[in-house]
Structure 1
Amino acid sequence: MIISFDIGGSAIKGGIARSEADITPMGRKPTPKDDFAAFVETIRSFITESGEKPTRVALSIAGVVDPDTQRLTCANIPCIHGRDLAADLQAELGLPVLIANDADCFAMAEAELGAGRGHRIVLGAILGTGVGGGLVSDGRLINASGGFAGEWGHGPIIASEAGNPPAKIPAYPCGCGQKGCVDTVGGARGLERLHKTLHDLDFSSEEIIAQWQQGDEKATRTIDVYIDLVASPLALTVNITGATIVPVGGGLSNVEQLLAELDKAVRQRILRKFDRPLVVRSECRVEPGLIGAAILGLKAEAV
């Protein structure tokens, strides 16, 4: 038995995993952001409540492990930022600890139990507040020891013009320190940013999408530009990775009409042609981070 965790800035969720078919959530507790001792005790409390000693602990976390130093970048939880968290937790708990990025865990969950089943190469894409991704090949996470593989949301790549007729798009500054990243336009905040740029209107992403679905001309223009901007870098990522399925999670994945338009545009831009949907809604809708971490932990046990 292993215990898996989904570590977020506001809550820590725990789960017990005995097999891929037997993963049981244990509930959630507030995340201690500034007190590492309290953070450890929260993890320990889940282990105690499980009633037995696990063989391993596996964490999904909104951060990136440096593959060279094993130190974690996790700005929204200061007490673990910059630590070799796996080593520190292992010393505290006396158990092997595995840590993976939440988008990587999402990709693993989809590859094993979701829309990616039966596919050799699965690119998991997140279209939520921002843009993220993870890559699984032959059942193995590419970022097994940490890193940025599959992170298609960053890098100065967005077009300077998009839509029909073309609209000029500024290279928006990104939180990663660069300009013109897909993350600046591809998530919910990016959609709102585009609408403001194109029409000088402040609406939420939900309002923009609702207006688009009702045939509003300005919202339709924004979605046209959005699809043009996002489809090209996603198509390039598919070409480079050879992915044959792209399960999408995050809030925007709930808009099936939007995914259908994105899928159509991506398939028009890639080298390999598919006569079926490529960009699809994820199937692991409940706790994909927890499930992905559990699968990674179980695979580590089997080695």
Structure 2
Amino acid sequence: MIVCFDIGGTAIKGGFAFSGEDVRPLPRRPTPLHDYDAFVGELRGVIEQADATPDCVAISIAGVLDPDTGVATIANIPCLHGRPLVADLEADLGLPVIVANDADCFAMAEAHNGAGRGHAIVFGAILGTGVGGGLVIDGKLINRGGFAGEWGHGPVAATLAGSPPVELPRFQCGCGLKGCIDAVGGARGMERLHTHLSGAALTSEEIVQAWESGDVDATRTIDVLIDLLASPLALVVNVTGATIVPVGGGLSNSLSLLREIDAAVRARILRRFDRPLVVQATCRPEPGLVGAALLGLEFSASQQH
């Protein structure tokens, strides 16, 4: 048995995992953002509910770990940012600790228990507040600290997009670069695009609703957004050989949007598919928790051989 966590800036979701199909969530706890000792206390509070000593603690979190130093970059939880997180948590919890990026955990969950089941190469894409992803090949996560699969970052966003094409600036990204897909492709990116193109400030939900109702301005925004997303995602598919791209995050709730992205991506890749490639994620209800559990169970199994 392992203890698994899916940790965000608002809540800590904990649970016990006995297999990849038997993950038992517990009630959520608030995330202490500025007090490391309080944060560790919340994790201990979950671990102490276990009937036996767990094999390890596996954590899904929105951040990356430097693969050389182990130092964490976790901007939304300041008390963890800049720490050698695995080493600190192992010392404080007295158990082996695995920490993985939340998009990587999502990809693992989809590859094993979701839309990617049965596929050898699965690229899990996140279209949420921003743009992220993770790559799983033959059931194994391709990961060096959470950096693999991050197609949202890198200054590759087109500056001419849509039909007819419109010129776009290289928007500033939170990672420090300009021109990242993350800055134009997620929910905040969609809102930024819509304001730039129409002058109106709407939420991503309002933009999608307006588009689905035939609004001219929203239709233009979605047209540009799909053009901006499809080419980089097509390149990811060509480079990895992925045969399925499950999508999670808030924007994946619009099946109409996913269908349009899927059609645009399939038109731009070398391999031809006569079935959907970019699809809605199906692992429910907590893919981050399930993905962390799978990584923890994998670690536990490796220690027994």
- TM value normalised by structure 2: 0.97
Letter in 2 for 1:275: D
Structure 1 segment 215-230 matched on structure 2, within 5 A: 215-230=214-229
Partners in 2 of 1:78 and 1:193 — Cα distance? 26
Partners in 1 of 2:75 and 2:207 — Cα distance? 30
SS in 1 for 2:267: helix
CA contact (8 A) 2:63 2:146 kept: no
Identity of aligned residues (%): 67
Correspondence 1:7 to 2:36: no
Structure 1 segment 184-223 matched on structure 2, within 5 A: 184-223=183-222
- Cα deviations by residue, 1:197-251 (Å, 9 ceiling, x for unpaired): 1111111111111111111111111111111111011101111111111000000
Correspondence 1:181 to 2:177: no
Q: What is the alpha-carbon root mean square deviation over aligned residues?
A: 0.9
* Runs of 5+ consecutive residues of structure 2 not aligned to the other structure: none
Segments ≥4 residues shifted beyond 4 Å: none
* Runs of 5+ consecutive residues of structure 1 not aligned to the other structure: none
Letter in 2 for 1:288: P
SS in 1 for 2:26: strand
1:74 is matched with 74
2:271 is matched with 272
Letter in 1 for 2:96: P
Partners in 2 of 1:8 and 1:26 — Cα distance? 15
CA contact (8 A) 2:106 2:124 kept: yes
Partners in 1 of 2:33 and 2:55 — Cα distance? 26
Give the stretch that moved more between structures: 189-198 or 106-115: 189-198
Partners in 1 of 2:129 and 2:74 — Cα distance? 17
Letter in 2 for 1:252: L
- Cα deviations by residue, 1:19-74 (Å, 9 ceiling, x for unpaired): 11211001111111111111111111101122321111000001101111111110
Give the stretch that moved more between structures: 205-214 or 292-301: 205-214
- Cα deviations by residue, 1:78-125 (Å, 9 ceiling, x for unpaired): 111111111111111111110000000000000000000111111100
- TM value normalised by structure 1: 0.98
SS in 2 for 1:141: strand
Partners in 2 of 1:177 and 1:254 — Cα distance? 29
Letter in 2 for 1:153: G
Structure 1 segment 1-303 matched on structure 2, within 5 A: 1-143=1-143, 145-303=144-302
Q: Offset at 1:147?
A: 3.7
Q: Offset at 1:285?
A: 3.3
CA contact (8 A) 2:59 2:98 kept: yes
CA contact (8 A) 2:107 2:135 kept: yes
Q: Offset at 1:294?
A: 0.2
SS in 1 for 2:27: strand
SS in 2 for 1:115: coil
